[in-house]
Amino acid sequence: MMVSRWCGGVADNNMGLDSILSTLWRQRWYKTKLSYGFDSSTVTSSPDILEKMRVATQQAFSDSEWQRNSEFTFIQNPPGAKSDIMIGFYGRNHEKGKRFEYESDAPDHCLAYASPLPFAEISFHVDDHENWSIDPTEDQLDLVSVALHEIGHVLGLGHLSAKDAVMYPVAHRGVGKRKLQHHDIAALAAMYNQWGRFLRTIFS
């Protein structure tokens, strides 16, 4: 099965209890209602893929596992409005696409990039050779799964080593991860001091 790395630029975590608790010292949001918007400077030669990415990102926020398993709520801002989380779709011909160049031709290259707080920016790699889909077949990448993973990063989480976790750093083509696992929920709960949710999760 072909794989690609979800993203670059965010530190990895192991899945031990000590690692989950280490999230207590990561930067975090101090409000629970977060707005998101799309960067108007997006440049891509694939307008059909761009539209798919917008739809997938909206789906990941509006039907968000993160929202159901935390205190966060997400609202989409109109174009031009200042948002807590900015989302862009960039190819290698765009300035922000440079962050993908170092591994863009490798079989495990970077698909998306989430800047850690306080910047809260998600950048997707829009390149013609990527086979993106909202309903992936065996040779396609699931857009919603990638978006859900990157939302985890802008909430403050790093990668987790549990292979079934949404925050696992490798994407398998043809496989969607649209449901948070215990590892994801416990890590976020520990980070935001939601100890009731944390205990229910690890002992369920």
Residue 149 assigned as binding residue = yes
The tokens describing 33, both together, are 């209602």
Is 95 designated active site?
no
Residue 184 assigned as binding residue = no
Residue 53 assigned as binding residue = no
Nearest to 151 by CA among 96, 98, 87, 75: 87
Residue 129 assigned as binding residue = no
Nearest to 143 by CA among 49, 41, 8: 49
Residue 94 assigned as binding residue = yes
Residue 39 assigned as binding residue = no
Residue 172 assigned as binding residue = no
Report the b/e string of 167-178 with b at 16+ CB within 10 A: bbbebbbeebbe
Residue 153 assigned as binding residue = yes
What are the CA-CA distances from residue 84 to residues 57, 76, 122, 155 (Å)?
15, 10, 11, 11
Residue 18 assigned as binding residue = no
The tokens describing 188, both together, are 């976020």
Catalytic residue (one of 71, 95, 121, 150): 150
The packing angle between helices 182-191 and 195-202, to 10°, is 160
The catalytic residues are 150
Binding residues for Ca(2+): 84, 105, 127-128, 130
Binding residues: 84, 94, 105, 125, 127-128, 130, 149, 153, 159, 167
Binding residues for Zn(2+): 94, 125, 149, 153, 159, 167
